Structure 1
Amino acid sequence: MPMKIDSVIARQRVDDLDAAIPFYERLTGRTADRFAFAAVQLASVGPFLLFSGPDEAVQRVAGVSATLTVADLAEAVDEAVAAGATVVMPAQPTPNGHRTVLRHPHGGVYEYVGP
């Protein structure tokens, strides 16, 4: 059975996270879930992942086009690689499961997250 992507999370760098959050909360009707990753401040608001921080810190986050959630991360990686994707960052644990970063054959870089 082919891999299924459960959701796509759009990533958006913002200059001022505190100023940006109310717009996205109003747009989505969802409350922001804030967290930090290294020196980057992030907020998950519905289908958006907002982030801000110093240029050198956000490069790790900004280089990824979107986050794709999948039910089976290992299967998704195997299928994507078999179809021509390359692994940029191998799977690693996170507080919410596991993540890996893949470069699709046409150049897009995506984070895959799943159990």
Structure 2
Amino acid sequence: MAIESVVVRQRVEDLDAAVPFYERLTGSTASRFAFAGVTLASVGPFLLFSGPDEAVRRVAGVAATLAVGDLDAAVEDAVAGGAEVVAPSAPTPNGHRAVLRHPHGGVYEYVGP
């Protein structure tokens, strides 16, 4: 398994106010979408999110998003190494995702084809 990139998650109170700062910082244009009651913006290596506390807790409980070239293989490798599947692979607005708890406690979202 190879992790191709890591996306840093950041909760913001006002997504519309935060996006321009991160666009300037990264030189990237935000891609906005909604998922599970949360409004999100992907800007370079940052995933900004905002929404009601209950919905945001589900997103904020994940330390980072790890992009992989083969999601099924990455999940299989992680589980073989002691990770626990918290949420199995499922389609999302941006591909497929699975959430795993690593053997040392960290919870990570894996995304890929």
Moved over 6 A (4+): none
Aligned-residue identity in percent: 79
Say whether 1:48 aligns with 2:53. no
Q: 1:29 aligned to 27, 30, 35, which one?
A: 27
Aligned to 2:56: 58
Unaligned 5+ runs, structure 1: none
Distance of 2:10 and 2:70 partners within structure 1: 26
State the secondary structure of the residue aligned to 1:105.
coil
- SS in structure 2 at match of 1:15: coil
Residues 23-57 of structure 1, C-alpha deviation per residue, up to 9 Å, x if partnerless? 10010000111111132110000000000011011
**Runs of 5+ in structure 2 lacking a partner?**
none
Provide the aligned C-alpha RMSD in A: 0.8
* TM-score between the two structures when normalised by the length of structure 1: 0.95
Q: How many residue pairs were aligned? A: 113
Scaled by the length of structure 2, what TM-score is found? 0.97
Shift of 1:79: 0.6
Partner in structure 2 of residue 113 of structure 1: 111
Cα drift, residue 98 of structure 1: 1.1
